[in-house]
Chain A
Amino acid sequence: MSNVSTESGQVSLSGLDELWFQVAGTRCNLTCTHCFISCSPHNNSFGFLSMEVVRKALLESAEWGVREYYFTGGEPFLNPDLVEMLVLALGYGPVTVLTNATVLKDEWLECLRDAEERGPYSLEFRVSVDGPDAATNDPIRGEGTFDRAMRGVEMLVRHGVLPIITMTRTWADADDHRVLSRFRDVLARHGCDRPRLKVLPRLLIGAEAIRTCGYDEADRVSAGMLDGFDSDQLICSHSRTVTDRGVFVCPILLEEPSARLGGTLAEADRPFSLDQGACVTCYQFGAICTNPSGQVFEQTGAGAGEVAP
């Protein structure tokens, strides 16, 4: 589309639709073997965001007409200010928090559901679970994590939340139907009888590059590949990520120095060169980080343009 320069192979920010907060940095209570930014209890590459940074970014974001806000980590609920941050963000727009659901507390959920009910916007919980049973999930996310996540799902359901269960596809594509059906059965047994499922492709960076393999040198989005490509499919054309080390192009490429675009949103309003292997995965699968309700789907028809009656 128009914001793609085919000569440089760069994608510009067409508008700031989603603002991400790397609110727990790279700190997580789990050490998943496929984590694309290698989060763990000991990874301090990125630290917690302070309330002040979040407040300032929300204020700055208002000028940009942001559609919705995402809070991620690491495990966001490790940040002691998270609940207050989510409540504050709900005053600006819709909010999504990405959690492994193993550290939730009833009082937090009660406060958050109250805050959601008071305003017009949705608060979405995305829960990461990487298989419909412990045998599939636990080798990736850690011993006992499947059962703990299911207890978290039960808690969310008790509070009236309809979580989006997010899973990274570590099985063969052909097994999708079987795995998703089993997911629905298992979630129903845990009280989640209206499951919302989101399957993510593997990103071959961070811990996953060690677990399986990384991208090849040839895995790059070339300038030619952007010819006629709808760049709205890529989150770098409509989002940015606030971290304690500045504003990054997306929540995926945190370990890539060139992905840090500036210290403020204004500074980060510049083109990004798609020269990372992970960009190929976004190119193939679309804006994988966005919720289904806000995902932009490719439109192939042209219509007859704009007219006056």
Chain B
Amino acid sequence: MKLAFFGGLYSNYLALEAAIADASRRDVQQLFCLGDMGAFGPHPDRVVSLLRDEGVACVQGNYDDSIGNELADCQCGYTDPRDNRFAQISYDYTLEKTSPVHRRWLRGLPTSLNFELAGVRMHLCHGSPRRTNEFLWESTTSDRFLDRLIDPTNAEVVLGTHTGLHWTRTTPRGRRFVNVGVLGRPANDGRTNVWYTVLDLSGQEVGVEFVPVEYDFLRLSNEMRDEGLPDEFTATIESGWWTTCLEVLPSRERRCGRH
């Protein structure tokens, strides 16, 4: 049995379409999305329509909580004025362009999902099992801390997103944590593709595959320009390097990028 996990769509409906098509070619049985449907990209209603049409099981991200409840900001908690300025531009645009029906849908999403499939107990969250907007970076999350976070979930596999960078680790007590990556923007590696994750539950051990997704990024960036979104955002889509929201990156992850 194969399952697909999408994270951080950031309104990138073209990447979501490509990922759904790719998952279908791989005979994936069920699609999941771990939240942050809007932000950054154009026409936020389009990803929500796709998720609903395709029957994707969704978890609420901090962005969805904010948009759904029409809060003042995205709750990412930046303190750098530049990061905040760009985050607010993106948030105001997304809030304005998300239909009331979709806001209601985002508001009603669960903060986590717990279930067992093919004998594997899973916990799906956005940031961490204890907090929707907690960043679990690979370089600043100790093994034993992961075990402590996983304990209350009683799960063998915990999946999250939120940071924008995919990674996985087996904890000292044999549980698996997977940050499934994001479809919304590239992984700050100078490449234009984005990422999702396929879990294979058919073997003795849970298989984790990070899948690169190519999509029409030039079409996306042109649509972002048409919508008046900042050049800094389109630069990320076209170059693969993050240009904003850099403040929260640990040094190790920051060094991998250009900015």
A296 in contact (CB, < 8 A): yes
Total count of chain A residues near the partner, CB < 8 A:
49
Q: A303 contacts B249, CB within 8 Å?
A: no
A291 to B135, CA, bound (A): 12
Question: Which A residues touch B144, using CB under 8 A?
Answer: 62, 64-66, 92-93
Q: A292 contacts B247, CB within 8 Å?
A: yes
Apart from A196-B247, A304-B111, what 6 extra A-B contacts exist at CB < 8 Å? Answer: A93-B142, A94-B250, A161-B251, A297-B75, A300-B71, A301-B68
Residues of chain B at the chain A interface (Cβ within 8 Å): 57, 60, 62, 65-66, 68-69, 71, 75-77, 79-81, 107-115, 131-135, 137-145, 147-149, 169, 246-255, 259
A114 to B249, CA, bound (A): 21
Question: Which A residues touch B112, using CB under 8 A?
Answer: 306-307
Closest B residue to A117 by beta carbon equals B252
Question: Which B residues touch A17, using CB under 8 A?
Answer: 145
Q: Given A162-B255, A196-B247, A304-B60, verify A294-B140 contact (CB < 8 Å).
A: yes
A295 to B250, CA, bound (A): 11
Q: B108 contacts A304, CB within 8 Å?
A: yes
Q: A15 contacts B255, CB within 8 Å?
A: no
Q: How many A-B contacts if CB must be within 8 Å?
A: 140
A298 in contact (CB, < 8 A): yes
Interface residues of A in 201-242 (CB under 8 A from B): 232
Q: A307 contacts B134, CB within 8 Å?
A: no
Q: B110 contacts A304, CB within 8 Å?
A: yes
Question: Which B residues touch A306, using CB under 8 A?
Answer: 110-114
Q: A66 contacts B142, CB within 8 Å?
A: yes
A78 in contact (CB, < 8 A): no
Question: Which B residues touch A93, using CB under 8 A?
Answer: 142-145
Q: B250 contacts A176, CB within 8 Å?
A: no
Taking a contact as CB atoms closer than 8 A, the residue among A15, A122, A296, A297 that contacts B251 in the complex is A122
Q: A294 contacts B135, CB within 8 Å?
A: yes
| CB of A197 to closest CB in B, whole Å | 7
A120 in contact (CB, < 8 A): yes
Q: A67 contacts B141, CB within 8 Å?
A: yes
Question: Which A residues touch B253, using CB under 8 A?
Answer: 122
Q: A94 contacts B81, CB within 8 Å?
A: no
A75 in contact (CB, < 8 A): no
A297 to B132, CA, bound (A): 10
| CB of A301 to closest CB in B, whole Å | 3
Closest B residue to A124 by beta carbon equals B251
Q: B259 contacts A194, CB within 8 Å?
A: yes
A62 to B176, CA, bound (A): 19
Question: Which A residues touch B113, using CB under 8 A?
Answer: 306-309
